Structures are given as structure tokens and as C-alpha cells.
């Protein structure tokens, strides 16, 4: 059954991707591209990676599509770029189609082989057995924030660099917003109802990161999506720079300080110095420092991605 | 099998029926506005019914399911209305037989006032 769903998803993903490449209208191609993202959400879920599926659902088929659409709108303002694109596109398209066909064949071959063999090995199950040691019910979380906590610190730093780069490139001078679509009245009112619900969902995912799929990265991205909704529907809405800076750098510093405290108390960077008894696994307050780390990551990711989205949307005309 | 379970089965059955009708409507309806109409109303009702049936099977989840229902009750009509208005502004024609176009005057008035500014 799983093999069939996988095959079907892979096939429809390839078909949608081909259609997306062959579109002459860039907007339609972006919409189809987010359809490919939706397919990969299903694939991630089938292969026991609900955490990645959550991220892909928000980033791959949500925020990326919006960012690409904003990019297209910017492009249409400068017709020269469009012409160059049209010249190059035919060649790029051929290469892309060739790559896509190759990738599809590889994936199909691998899936068919996987469907034939009795049971594919499952790294998640093996890790689950070690989850007791870390004190988190979600094995992925115990890897991300405990066994590989140092790597996660690096990843968060990379994200910070990316946000800084976007901020440097797209500095807003006080002017009119380049991207603004007169919102539907119903949408404007409805977004007011929706915003707290999405925020609540993001916070839930962050706080339950050590118990259920999801965590700091996923929840932070969901929170950024909530702010994206406000940027799209309200002309005057803007983030307070001071608050974003304080949240972002404060969370980063707290992460490093937690790691150093672990080094001091346990002799191990990011050592779990808070009590994390094995019998408490599965409860909200458990896992020692793991939930604290994930909440910090959530704050950091949420503020960074919201900042990037704001920078991309509120670019002024003449920069 | 308790009373709640039977109620849940009935709700799930009705909900999936409504979703089937919605899917059928998206395929069979003649133009984009009627398709959006079919895809929104019937599917919102269907999903809400299925959520209610899930609450009947697992009463402990009812609060989360209630939030989920509220979320769907808001997002589904909102996204559809945004889609419909966007396609109207792009100039997608509706069927001749649909009757009066009440939005035509309003949109025109809005465009005029913008030009004056």
C-alpha cells in the first residue's frame, strides 16, 4: 500500500514538475512548483519524517511560493531582465528537463527496488531506542538538540547569516511598499481571526517539540507564516526592529550560555544538566534542557524568517 | 459499540458523502466561480462533519479538534474568496447564464476613485 502511494506521489510530482517547467507564464509555473512541494510533504510523511514534512509544508509549498511570486513581480518592473531570461530560458529548460528525467528514473528505480525487498531499514527506529538516554520522547528532537546540538547551533548561525545578508541587500528606505495588493476586505478581516490561531499552532509545535513531530524550526517557520499573512493584508503593518533584534540575539546568546553551563556542570558542551528522569518521558515538563533549547531555536527562527519575509515584501521602489 | 460511536460513523459517512459531492462539483461545474463555490461550501461542511465524527470516536481530543474545526471554518472560505476575487480582477468571465454581476459596478467605481487620486 505504502509503495503504491509512494509511486503515485512520485509520478504525479514528476508530471507537475514537468508542467511547471513547460509553462510560459512564470506565475503559473510557481504555483505548480508549490504543488511539487506538496508532493514531497506526502513523501516525507510516508518515510517516517513528519518533522521534515511539517517544515516542507510551510517553507516548500508556502513561503517559497510567496517569495518567488514577489521576485516575479520585481522582475516585471524591469523589462530588460525579462528579455534576458527569455533568451536563456530555453537552454536552461532543456538541462532542467534532462536532470528531472534522470532524477525521476533514479527515484523510481530505487522505489521499485525498495518495494520488492521485504522491509527497508529504518534509522528512526534504531534512534528511538536511544531516546531514553536523552530523555525526549521524540527521537528526532533528541538528535537535533542533544546528540547533535552543536551542529544545530551552527545551522542557526547560518540562518542568522542568511537573514543578515538579506537585510544588507534589501535595505528599506522610507518609501512606498513595492509589493502591495489591495486586499480583499473579507481577507483583511479574516486574517485578524486567523493570526492568533496560526500563532497558537506555532507555539504549540515549539513547546511540544520534544514530545511530538516538530519543534523549534518548524514552529518558528509557522509563526513567520502568520506574520507573512499580516504583511500581505495590512499596508501599515511592520515589525519593530528593536524587538526582533533583542529576541533574535537574546535567543542565540541564551543557546550558547546553556551550552557553556553544560560544559561547566557536566564537562560536555550542551550537556543536559537539568534533571531528566526516564520515567517522565512523554510529559510536557521533561527532557531537561531539550525543550528549553527548542524554545530558544523557535524564537530565533521565528524572528529571523519574519525579518527576511518583511525585507522581501517591503522593498522600496528605488533601491 | 456505544451511542457516540454510532453517531460518529453516521457523521463520517455524511461528511465523506459531502466531500464526494464537492469533488464531483469541481469536475462538473461549468466555470471557475461555480467550481470555487462547489469546492468551498461542500468541502467545508464535509471536513467539519469528519472532524465532529473524530470527536465522537475520541472525546479526549475534542478541544484540539474544535480548534482545528475553527481553523478550517475560517481558512477555507477566506482562501476561496481571495481566489474568486483575484480571478474576477484578472478578468475571468463568468457564465452568461449566471445572471446579474453585482460586483461590476463596485469594482468600476473603485478604479475610478483611484484614478482621481
Q: Is A209 exposed, middle or buried (0-12, 13-18, 19+ CB in 10 A)?
A: buried
The number of domains in chain A is: 2
A184–B contact, CB cutoff 8 A: yes
On whether any CB of chain B is under 8 Å from the CB of A203, the answer is: no
Query: Are residues B67 and A200, on separate chains, in Cβ contact within 8 Å?
Result: yes
Enter the pTM of the model: 0.72
Residues A66 and A193 in one domain: no
Cα(A119)–Cα(A106) distance, integer angstroms: 20
Q: Do residue A137 and residue A285 come from a single domain?
A: yes
Report CA torsion sign: B82, B90, B112, B97.
negative
Query: Are A57 and A181 part of one and the same domain?
Result: no
Q: What's the burial of B74, exposed, middle or buried (CB within 10 Å: 0-12/13-18/19+)?
A: middle
Domain final residue pick, A84, A103, A120: A120
Which among A120, A146, A165 is the end of a domain?
A120
Minimum-distance CB partner of A194 among B75, B81, B85: B75
pLDDT digits (tens, 9 = 90+) for A298-307: 999 899 888 8
Question: Are A101 and A171 found together in one domain?
Answer: no
Q: Which residues, other chains included, contact A193 with Cβ-Cβ below 8 Å and sequence gap of 6+?
A: B74
Tell me: do A230 and A268 sit in the same domain: yes
Both A134 and A54 in one domain: the answer is no
- Diameter of chain A measured on Cα atoms: 65
Tens of pLDDT, residues A201-240:
899 888 888 777 778 888 888 999 898 888 888 777 778 7
Are residues A271 and A140 both part of a single domain?
Answer: yes
Residue A197 shares a structural domain with residue A312: yes
Residues A195 and A216 in one domain: yes
- Tell me if B70 and A200 make a contact (CB, 8 A cut-off): no
- For an interface test with A, the pick among B44, B71, B76 (most A C-beta atoms closer than 10 Å) comes out as B71
Question: Domain residues for A265?
Answer: 123-319
Q: Are A179 and A70 a contacting pair, CB within 8 Å?
A: yes
Residues A197, B70: C-beta atoms closer than 8 Å: yes
Same domain, A159 and A108: no
- Determine the Cα angle at A199 with ends A140 and A61, to 5°: 65
Q: Which of A120, A144, A165 is the last residue of a domain?
A: A120
C-alpha cell at A7: 509511486
Considering only CB atoms, B81 lies closest to which of A186, A193, A197, namely A186
Sign of CA pseudo-dihedral A158, A159, A164, A167? positive
Instruction: Give me the interface pTM, i.e. the ipTM.
Output: 0.72
CB-CB neighbors (< 8 A) of B74 in chain A: 190, 193-194, 197
Query: pLDDT (tens digit, 9 = 90+) per residue, A34-43?
Result: 888 889 898 8
A253 exposed, middle or buried (CB, 10 Å; 0-12, 13-18, 19+)? exposed
A162 with A305, same domain?
yes
Say if residue A182 is in the same domain as residue A255.
yes
**How far off is chain A from B117, nearest CA to CA, in Å?**
15
Amino acid at each position: 500500500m505504502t509503495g503504491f502511494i509512494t509511486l503515485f506521489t512520485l509520478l504525479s510530482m514528476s508530471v507537475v514538475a514537468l508542467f511547471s517547467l513547460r509553462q510560459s507564464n512564470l506565475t503559473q509555473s510557481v504555483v505548480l512548483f508549490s504543488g511539487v512541494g506538496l508532493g514531497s510533504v506526502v513523501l516525507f510523511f510516508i518515510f517516517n519524517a513528519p518533522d521534515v514534512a511539517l517544515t516542507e509544508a510551510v517553507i516548500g509549498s508556502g513561503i517559497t511560493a510567496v517569495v518567488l511570486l514577489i521576485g516575479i513581480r520585481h522582475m516585471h518592473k524591469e523589462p530588460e531582465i525579462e528579455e534576458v531570461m527569455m533568451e536563456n530560458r530555453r537552454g536552461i529548460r532543456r538541462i532542467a528537463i534532462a536532470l528531472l528525467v534522470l532524477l525521476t528514473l533514479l527515484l523510481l528505480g530505487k522505489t521499485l527496488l525498495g518495494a520488492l525487498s521485504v522491509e527497508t531499514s529504518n534509522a528512526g527506529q534504531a534512534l528511538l531506542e536511544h531516546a531514553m538516554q536523552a530523555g525526549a520522547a521524540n527521537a528526532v528532537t533528541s538528535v537535533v538538540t542533544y546528540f547533535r546540538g552543536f551542529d544545530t547551533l551552527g545551522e542557526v548561525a547560518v540562518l542568522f547569516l542568511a537573514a543578515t545578508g538579506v537585510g544588507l541587500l534589501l535595505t528599506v528606505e522610507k518609501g512606498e511598499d513595492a509589493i502591495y495588493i489591495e486586499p480583499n476586505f473579507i481577507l483583511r478581516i479574516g486574517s485578524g481571526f486567523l493570526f492568533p490561531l496560526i500563532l497558537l499552532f506555532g507555539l504549540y509545535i515549539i513547546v511540544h517539540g520534544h514530545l511530538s513531530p516538530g519543534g523549534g524550526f518548524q514552529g518558528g517557520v509557522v509563526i513567520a507564516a502568520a506574520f507573512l499573512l499580516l504583511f500581505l493584508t495590512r499596508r501599515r503593518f511592520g515589525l519593530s526592529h528593536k524587538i526582533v533584534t533583542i529576541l533574535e540575539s537574546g535567543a542565540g546568546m541564551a543557546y550558547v550560555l546553556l551550552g557553556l553551563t553544560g560544559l561547566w556542570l557536566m564537562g560536555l558542551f550542551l550537556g543536559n544538566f537539568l534533571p531528566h528522569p526516564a520515567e517522565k518521558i512523554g510529559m510536557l515538563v521533561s527532557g531537561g534542557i531539550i525543550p528549553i533549547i527548542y524554545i530558544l531555536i523557535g524564537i530565533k527562527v521565528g524572528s529571523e524568517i519574519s525579518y527576511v519575509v518583511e525585507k522581501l515584501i517591503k522593498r522600496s521602489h528605488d533601491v | 459499540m456505544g451511542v457516540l460511536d454510532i453517531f460518529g460513523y453516521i457523521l463520517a459517512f455524511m461528511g465523506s458523502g459531502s466531500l464526494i459531492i464537492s469533488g464531483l462539483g469541481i469536475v462538473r461545474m461549468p466555470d471557475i466561480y461555480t467550481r470555487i463555490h462547489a469546492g468551498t461550501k461542500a468541502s467545508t461542511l464535509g471536513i467539519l462533519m469528519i472532524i465532529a465524527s473524530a470527536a465522537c470516536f475520541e472525546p479526549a481530543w475534542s478541544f484540539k479538534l474544535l480548534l482545528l474545526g475553527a481553523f478550517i471554518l475560517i481558512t477555507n472560505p477566506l482562501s476561496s474568496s481571495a481566489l474568486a476575487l483575484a480571478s474576477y480582477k484578472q478578468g475571468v468571465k463568468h457564465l452568461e447564464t449566471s445572471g446579474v454581476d453585482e460586483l461590476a459596478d463596485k469594482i468600476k467605481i473603485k478604479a475610478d476613485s483611484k484614478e482621481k487620486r
